[in-house]
Amino acid sequence: MMMLLHIGRLWSGVASPAGGDGAGSRRSARRRLLEPLLREIVSAHLGVDREALGPEVSLADDLAVDSLDLVELGLAVEAETGVALPDVLLADVRTYGDLVEAVRAVDCCETIAESRAAEPPFVWVQVVRPTECASADLYRDGWLTPYNAEVILEDAMRAGPGARIEVKVPPHLTTGQVAELRAQLAWLAEHGVGTRVMRQTSPGTRSPDVAA
């Protein structure tokens, strides 16, 4: 049990995906810790020697695990690792090695999805100046980092009342992510700057696309 707690604490330290230079090393550490953590979970839950667990060990034949035991084992894995095994995958688990590979596959997919969700979107921005303004419209594109967002908002504020910004986002962003971006820009209306957020359907063009 002490070993399970120790590995569990190490796992908790690398379990959340993060950006930056350390993201790759965290994912690598996460993958290395997964099998030892699963070994401790199975050992503690089933009351078997962790050293006896090998990839070929049959859960049913060697460890007397029935379908109910397998469901409870899946819940124990989820409680300790945060990785929930879908029923369709759990039903195909026959050996300890199958269990490890199933958990690794789900964890990898979840990590990639979370990492992508955490990445700032790439945006194409047009600051449309008032019609009576002699200056040309201003175009910018780039990752919507906090710094770039500040630059874009400063551009809009300098353009003055009557200006508006049109923001195009990648088509893979969810409706919720687009709505969140709209909400973040809504305060500009208080300064007379309108906003429009739309999905980009033809990257590289500057003409308005179908609104999201």
Nearest CA to 32 out of 14, 50, 56 is that of: 14
Strand partners, 2: none
pLDDT at 97: 92
Quick one: CA torsion of 78, 79, 80, 81, rounded to 10 degrees? Answer: 40
pLDDT at 20: 46
CATH of domain 2-118: 1.10.1200.10
Locate all alpha helices (DSSP H) within the chain, ordered by sequence: 2-14, 23-46, 67-81, 87-90, 96-118, 146-159, 175-185
Token couple for 154: 């400063």
pLDDT tens, 146-167? 777 778 778 877 877 788 889 9
pTM, full prediction: 0.48
pLDDT at 19: 46
Domain coordinates of the chain in residue numbers? 2-118, 122-199
pLDDT at 1: 55
* Low-confidence residues in the chain, pLDDT < 50: 6-7, 10-11, 17-21, 203-212
